[in-house]
Amino acid sequence: MRRSLFVWIGVMAAVVAAAGLGAVVLSRWLASGVEEPAAESGPAPVDETRKIKARLFYVADDGVHLVPVEREVPLGATTADQARRIVEALLEPPPSPLLSAIPAGTRLRALHLTEAGQAFVDLSAEVRSAHPGGLTNEILTVYSIVDSLTVNLPGLTGVQILVDGHEADTLAGHVDLRRPLARSTFWIDEDTPR
Amino acid sequence: MFLPRFRLLIAVLATSLAGLSLHPHPALARQAAGARPAQALTVILPQARTPLPVSQSGDQLMVALDDLAPLFGLTLREDGIGGGLVVTAANGKRVLLTPGQPLASADGRLVSLPAAPARDGGRWLVPIDFLPMAIAPVTGTRVEVRRASRLVLVGDVRVPRVEIRQQEAGGVIRLTLTVAPRAGHQVTHEGNRLLLRFDATALDPVLPAVTPGPLLQGIRLGEGPATIAVDLGPRFGSYRASAATHDANSEVVVELVPAFTDQALPVPPPSAPAAEPLLNLAPPRPSVRTVVIDAGHGGDEPGASGPSGALEKEITLAIARRLRAVLEGRLGLRVLMTRDGDKTVSLDERAALANTNKADLFISLHANASLRPATRGAQVYFLSAAGAGTEASRVSLASGALPTLGGGSRDVELILWDLAQLRHVDESAAFAAILEEELRGRIAMNVRPVLQAPFRVLAAANMPAVLVETGYLTNAEDERLLKTAGHQDLIVQALLHSVIRFREARERGITAAPASSPAPNPSNPPAPSPSRPTP
Ligand SMILES: [Zn+2]
């Protein structure tokens, strides 16, 4: 089943790349997904002072892993709103000695959720233009975002990073961003949490 | 269970009792007889909890002094002359009681009781308020009686009242826990329940009646002294917990969010990848005849850079040229370069060159960067398909086509171009393992020497493919070495010997057969060979 899934993903990617229709497809995805799934319209207005404890991911001492750090994040009214707040917290310069894997100055432009539980995270151009380059840096940038969202919001099935409102191939020439990425514990060092 | 600092003392008759009437009142017997047993209270001490039998007399809860004595270290002595009672605490302070009088003298201070002490057979009953009004001041111990929750709190204990309200809206169940006085808490998801553990001696809970449903099955006191267990139903997907404090109280909100609905996957057409691949009809014994060397980055895309100014695109091109010379000269292979100069080449073009030329091996050369300057060493990567499934991305396609140079496409054995590498992951892993061994004997390896990740450039390659990170340019020593011809040659030697070994293995048919490989687990890639370290 998984195999066939990849086939269809692959088919899709082929169509997108071959026809250069990325933007069209993207807009269709966003249109087909409800920004706020019906299940999220529920509970009451949010008290701005409320916080959740979220595990955000930063660069480990060994430079090749992410470490989870429990930090307080404002409560969001909906899953999409919570996802936004998690990304915004992740984009804030962290206190020393934490090291963010995301280029300084990167802002969250928008975040959309589809009904299938995919998050589209639209970041400002700095995430690419100010990226220091290198595969490991790029992997950690991508998965600090993917894992910070999917670990704290387990209902999310995948995260796709957009740059400046558009689908992106890669941030720095390595990691394939053309489709949503699933949570990966492969990059997380659980042994040395702070 | 005994408060340790108390000890038994024999009381002496207080002379002050002499002035009080000590004759038992005839009505007392009737009053005691009217007391009927009630549900026991629970006494919560810092290290223990114990039931305290009580009886109901009118609107008063009565408790036997005999039951209180061991809890508070009290000694009881009846005044044989007057019929009164002397209660002596371990510190020598006394409480004097007179049958029929709703009064007590606690350490010399007169306190008014809501009911008079009563004799019940050989026992003395006092109203429960006797504890906070008389016992507490005499023993110097805090005592709090919570009638509604039938608790008696003794000493330094924290027993917050936790009132839980349940609301449901839009499919989300919201549990609001008002905690008074406030207490720290932790929420953990264990199996099919959420556990809310409070930083408290015990809890004084007010639980809502829960009708078991698909998201929430019940709410109850959990195991442990101050734990509430929320039993989850099969539709539970995730939860969010938040907390806020209001004055002395805190409020914890736990939202139970149903799982996103599972949309059924479409049934794949029978000729799709599950079917036996046409690759098995390919040349009888695969070998290695054509190799594509991909010098990473180039032109407008410098890639990583080092503190002394080394650029990834320059290092990769230098190594690529040396490797080409060796593979052509020593092995007689057909070698193609995705670039042989400082050119900008798209990632699609690189894979397309290899596909068009039916390359047997694709080697992408890179130099790495880390935010930690100490990070160093070489790494070998191959593809993982870490994509998340998406309904929107499942579309049908009439024919499989690979992009080829010149912008056209040609049908290639129904292998879809972005999936092409998945057929070769096992062989790619085998080559990666060989290369890691060869590199390890020559240059410094990173602590994570072989890794899988979703690489754009490898995804479309329709042949075994690896990406080599030759070292970290952000590490001063790696950067210095990578610029030297000697070090570059060590890397080239490792690649040369890896290609030789891989070619031999392929010709003897001992590398993994393509096409039968399952898609790797996106979260935790499987170990493709014994030499690959556990991630
Ligand atoms: Zn690179």
What CATH code is assigned to B2-154? 3.30.457.10
Residue B334 to residue B324: CA distance in whole angstroms? 9
Residue A57 to residue A78: CA distance in whole angstroms? 22
Q: Which residues of A touch B266 (CB under 8 A)?
A: 8
Higher pLDDT, B508 or A9: B508
pLDDT score at A47: 63
As a whole number, mean pLDDT of residues B188-194 equals: 86
Domain ranges of chain B: 2-154, 161-258, 287-512
A-chain residue closest to B176, CA distance: A43
- A87 CA to centre of own chain: 7
pLDDT score at A192: 55
For B530, residues 6+ apart whose C-beta sits below 8 A from its C-beta are none
Higher pLDDT, B342 or B41: B342
pLDDT score at A135: 97
For residue B306, the CA-to-ligand 1 centroid distance in Å is 13
Given a cut of 80, whether residue B168 has pLDDT beyond it is: yes
Query: Exposed (0-12), middle (13-18) or buried (19+): which is B144, by Cβ within 10 Å?
Result: middle
Give me the residue from A14, A43, A182 closest to B387, CB to CB: A182
Residue A122: strand pairing partners: A110, A162
Report pLDDT digits (tens) over B32-76: 446 788 888 888 888 888 889 898 888 888 999 888 888 888 988
pLDDT score at B258: 81
Q: Is A176 near chain B, with CB under 8 Å?
A: yes
What 3-state DSSP class applies to B347? helix
Q: Is B478 near chain A, with CB under 8 Å?
A: no
Rounded to the nearest angstrom, the minimum Cα separation between A167 and chain B is 14
Residue B335: strand pairing partners: B291
Give me the residue from A4, A134, A181 closest to B369, CB to CB: A134
| A12/B255 CB distance under 8 A | no
| A179/B390 CB distance under 8 A | yes
| B372/A114 CB distance under 8 A | no
In chain B, residues 431-450 whose CB comes closer than 8 Å to chain A: 446-448
| The token pair that represents B7 in the structure block | 């000890």
pLDDT score at B384: 83
For B393, residues 6+ apart whose C-beta sits below 8 A from its C-beta are A8, A9, A12, A13, A179
For residue B299, the CA-to-ligand 1 centroid distance in Å is 13
B-chain residue closest to A3, CA distance: B519
pLDDT score at B117: 87
End-to-end Cα separation, chain B, in angstroms: 52
Report pLDDT digits (tens) over B230-275: 999 888 888 888 888 877 888 888 888 887 644 333 333 333 333 3
Q: Is B275 near chain A, with CB under 8 Å?
A: no
pLDDT score at B529: 37
Residue of B334, B340, B376, B388 whose CA lies nearest to B357: B334
Residue B451: strand pairing partners: B381
Distances (CA, A) of B432 to B319, B380, B449: 18, 6, 10
Q: Indicate the pLDDT class of residue B434, thresholds 50, 70 and 90.
A: very high
| The token pair that represents B381 in the structure block | 């990567």
| B525/A186 CB distance under 8 A | yes
Give me the residue from A25, A59, A157 closest to B260, CB to CB: A157
| A181/B454 CB distance under 8 A | yes
Q: Kind of pairing, strands A108-113 and A66-74?
A: unpaired
Given a cut of 90, whether residue B30 has pLDDT beyond it is: no
Given a cut of 70, whether residue B407 has pLDDT beyond it is: no
As a whole number, mean pLDDT of residues B194-222 equals: 86
| B418/A82 CB distance under 8 A | no
| The token pair that represents B452 in the structure block | 């899988």
| The token pair that represents B247 in the structure block | 């004055």
B-chain residue closest to A129, CA distance: B301
Q: Is A24 near chain B, with CB under 8 Å?
A: no
Mutate to test the interface with A, among B176, B194, B242 (most CBs of A within 10 A): B242
pLDDT score at B118: 85
Omega of the bond leading into B181 within 30 degrees of 0 (cis): yes
Residue B400: strand pairing partners: none
For residue A146, the CA-to-ligand 1 centroid distance in Å is 21
How many residue pairs bridge chain A and chain B with CB atoms within 8 Å of each other? 276
**Selecting from 2.40.50.100, 3.40.630.40, 3.40.640.10, 3.30.470.20, what CATH number does the domain B287-512 have?**
3.40.630.40
Given a cut of 70, whether residue B506 has pLDDT beyond it is: yes
For residue B298, the CA-to-ligand 1 centroid distance in Å is 10
Rounded to the nearest angstrom, the minimum Cα separation between B235 and chain A is 11
pLDDT score at B319: 98
pLDDT score at B271: 38
What 3-state DSSP class applies to A117? coil
Residue A173 to residue A145: CA distance in whole angstroms? 18
Mutate to test the interface with B, among A136, A138, A157 (most CBs of B within 10 A): A136
pLDDT score at B290: 94
Higher pLDDT, B298 or B221: B298
pLDDT, block means (10 residues), chain A with 194 residues: 46 43 37 39 60 95 94 93 96 92 97 93 97 96 97 93 95 93 88 55
Which residue has 């690489």 as its token pair?
B455
Residue B294: strand pairing partners: B364
User: What is the predicted ipTM?
Assistant: 0.77
pLDDT score at B77: 85
pLDDT score at B220: 87
pTM (2 decimals)? 0.56
As a whole number, mean pLDDT of residues B377-392 equals: 68
Given a cut of 90, whether residue B100 has pLDDT beyond it is: no
Give me the residue from A6, A118, A137 closest to B371, CB to CB: A137
Given a cut of 50, whether residue B392 has pLDDT beyond it is: no
Residue A44 and residue A68 in contact, taking contact as beta carbons nearer than 8 Å? no
Higher pLDDT, B4 or A180: A180
For residue B364, the CA-to-ligand 1 centroid distance in Å is 9
Q: Is A119 near chain B, with CB under 8 Å?
A: no
Q: What percent of chain B has pLDDT above 70?
A: 77
Query: Exposed (0-12), middle (13-18) or buried (19+): which is B203, by Cβ within 10 Å?
Result: buried
User: Do the two domains B2-154 and B161-258 of this chain adopt the same fold?
Assistant: no
- For B509: left if phi > 0, alpha if psi spans -120 to 50, otherwise beta; the answer is left
Given a cut of 70, whether residue B28 has pLDDT beyond it is: no
A-chain residue closest to B469, CA distance: A135
Average pLDDT, chain B: 78
Number of other residues whose CB lies within 10 A of the CB of residue A47:
15
Which residue has 């928008």 as its token pair?
A110
pLDDT score at B285: 64
Which residue has 């840096």 as its token pair?
A137
Rounded to the nearest angstrom, the minimum Cα separation between B507 and chain A is 28
DSSP state, A154?
T
In chain B, residues 321-350 whose CB comes closer than 8 Å to chain A: 347-348
Q: Is B418 near chain A, with CB under 8 Å?
A: yes
Residue B118 to residue B65: CA distance in whole angstroms? 10
Number of other residues whose CB lies within 10 A of the CB of residue A22:
17
Q: Is B371 near chain A, with CB under 8 Å?
A: yes
| B519/A29 CB distance under 8 A | no
As a whole number, mean pLDDT of residues B87-116 equals: 85
Give me the residue from A6, A32, A51 closest to B422, CB to CB: A6
pLDDT score at B512: 55
Higher pLDDT, B361 or B182: B361
Omega of the bond leading into A97 within 30 degrees of 0 (cis): yes
The domain over range B161-258 is classified in CATH as 2.60.40.3500: yes
A-chain residue closest to B296, CA distance: A173
Mutate to test the interface with A, among B390, B399, B405, B457 (most CBs of A within 10 A): B390
For residue B305, the CA-to-ligand 1 centroid distance in Å is 10
In chain A, residues 75-114 whose CB comes closer than 8 Å to chain B: 75, 79, 82, 99, 101, 114
Length of chain A measured in residues: 194
Residue A154 to residue A86: CA distance in whole angstroms? 13
Which of A6-15, B272-281, B301-310 is most confident? B301-310
As a whole number, mean pLDDT of residues B77-104 equals: 82
Mutate to test the interface with A, among B196, B368, B473, B532 (most CBs of A within 10 A): B368
* Least confident residue range of A58-62, A138-142, B5-9, B120-124: B5-9
A-chain residue closest to B368, CA distance: A134
Distances (CA, A) of A143 to A69, A179, A190: 14, 14, 14
